[in-house]
Chain A
Amino acid sequence: MQDDPRAAEILPAIATFLRETVTTDHSAHTLFQARVAANACDLAAREAQLAPASDAAELERLEALLGRSGTLAELNAELAARIADGSLTLETPELKAHLWATSMAKLAVDQPSYASYRRALKRLG
């Protein structure tokens, strides 16, 4: 499950920036913000492309781990709570693999050039 804010929540801010800031303020800070906005467009495109499949895979893993069905948000909340109370640990089969797979799916959207992600990709083969 991708973190908040999702692409659909970020796109309106990009539109506002293009309409209201780019047209009136040509400072160096606007240039910087424009680069950030371009990166955000890339992120939104990756999210649209990758998140449906990775969300489906994550849901399947969560249902197997927790032994019940539910929404991604519900099951993630339950998983976090059961890790917090110690009833699920790294000794739990498949938990470590699930956490890695889920965080890697986030990074594939959020920041695929992040050095720790590139290194983990190689290690995961």
Chain B
Amino acid sequence: MTEASLHPALADPLAALGRRLFHGAGELHGLRRLSGGASQETWAFSFHTPKGLRPLILRRKPHDRQSELAAGLETEAVLLKLAAEMGARVPPVFYVLTPEDGCGTGFIMDRLEGETIPRKILRDAEFAQARQVLARDCGEALSLIHRIDTARLPRTLRAAPGSVRLAELERTYATINRPNPVFALALRWLAANRPPDPAHLALVHGDFRHGNLMIGPDGLVGVLDWELAHLGDPMEDLGWICVPSWRFGGIDKPVGGFGERRQLFAAYEAAGGAPVDPFRVRFWEVFGALQWGLMCAGMAEVYRSGTDGSVERAMIARRASEVEIDLLDYIAPLVHEADDAG
């Protein structure tokens, strides 16, 4: 079966684009939809060029579907280019779509080789070497991202430091309308412990965690999915990668289940980042845990309303309780010397 017969609405204009970009060559190969991304589509394909097969990824928005919090694909393409200029490991942008291409809005980037599935990255022998250096790689990547000159960032990027993010989280809790004593306690803690907004906001990736980090046998290959990028407190990114929900069983390794906070912080500072304030990071860890907990709790209504009545959706809703335990570990610990202080 040809690509065109499977996905004609995209395959035809994409094939035409390939022929145009490679002057008659550039035949389209292996177009397939990848999972993930509700508001945006991600597709894998290759162009057959005179130099061989070029594996690519298309990120596009077919219609006018965009979350008000999403940065927008044109913005994502700009951020990827700026991050690449800083020397951060990101997929190179190959082409930005124009309306004449007829493929929707978005961009095409090179397809990196690597793995994003946490359990493989944390368990498989193939990634044993990577696990040794990943906390360092993450610290370095974030340091470079956070030092991007904000004067060069798209004006459309929203500003959302801690004060704004916490107000959003409080609204989310109220909207979900499922009274939860532990979540209420966490919101109190966050309000009482929120550090002042930084004087200068930085580019924050906004979703720097497993699933969005392409990992190879030697470490970090690329930082993906910039959909939630915004201007904010750079420590938000350091906190989010340490949230217990992203440790996948490796709870004694706070950084993504593979590393220590001190490795992350040291690499961040060594790559030119501002000195890390562990208390600020801790605020963002608690914030991130609650953010994920509310995301899970909100799935109960998605399930009940029939918007998505799948068993999988129901089971995600029932993961909110995992976050309760993690939040209590932070704000009402059973032992005072936390085991994961690293």
Q: Do A and B bind each other?
A: yes
Chain B CB within 10 A, most for which of A37, A39, A106: A106
B residues less than 8 Å from A124 (CB atoms):
334
Are A14 and B321 CB-contacts (below 8 A) given A83-B188, A116-B244, A120-B329? no
Q: Is the interface of A mostly helix, strand, loop or mixed?
A: helix
Does A103 reach chain B (CB closer than 8 Å)?
yes
Q: Give Cα A124 to B297, complex, Å.
A: 26
Are A3 and B325 CB-contacts (below 8 A) given A83-B185, A119-B339? no
The interface stretch among B13-21, B143-151, B154-162, B302-310 is B302-310
Q: Give chain A nearest CB distance to B3 CB in angstroms.
A: 19
Chain B residue at minimal CB-CB distance from A90: B332
Q: Is the interface of B mostly helix, strand, loop or mixed?
A: helix
Q: Give chain A nearest CB distance to B6 CB in angstroms.
A: 14
Q: Give Cα A10 to B300, complex, Å.
A: 11
| Per-position 1/0 for B261-275, Cβ under 8 A of A | 000000000000000
| Interface residues in A80-125 (C-beta closer than 8 Å to B) | 80-81, 83-84, 86, 89-90, 96, 99-100, 102-104, 106-107, 110-111, 114-117, 119-120, 123-124
Q: Give Cα A107 to B329, complex, Å.
A: 14
A residues less than 8 Å from B326 (CB atoms):
116
Q: Give Cα A119 to B331, complex, Å.
A: 16
B residues less than 8 Å from A106 (CB atoms):
321, 324
Q: Give chain A nearest CB distance to B291 CB in angstroms.
A: 17
Whether A110 pairs with B184 at a CB distance below 8 angstroms is no
B residues less than 8 Å from A33 (CB atoms):
310-312
| Interface residues in B298-342 (C-beta closer than 8 Å to A) | 300, 303-304, 309-312, 314-315, 317-322, 324-326, 328-329, 331-332, 334-335, 339
B residues less than 8 Å from A77 (CB atoms):
179
User: Pick the contact of B332 from A13, A39, A100 — CB < 8 Å?
Assistant: A100
Q: Give Cα A124 to B329, complex, Å.
A: 12
Whether B311 pairs with A36 at a CB distance below 8 angstroms is yes
Does B249 reach chain A (CB closer than 8 Å)?
yes
Q: Give Cα A16 to B317, complex, Å.
A: 19
User: Pick the contact of A81 from B179, B297, B321 — CB < 8 Å?
Assistant: B179
Does A67 reach chain B (CB closer than 8 Å)?
no
* Residues of B near any A CB (own CB < 8 A): 178-185, 187-188, 244, 247, 249-251, 297, 300, 303-304, 309-312, 314-315, 317-322, 324-326, 328-329, 331-332, 334-335, 339
A-B contact pairs, 16 of them (CB 8 A): A3-B318, A3-B320, A4-B300, A5-B317, A13-B309, A36-B312, A80-B183, A81-B179, A81-B184, A83-B184, A83-B188, A90-B331, A102-B181, A107-B322, A115-B249, A117-B325
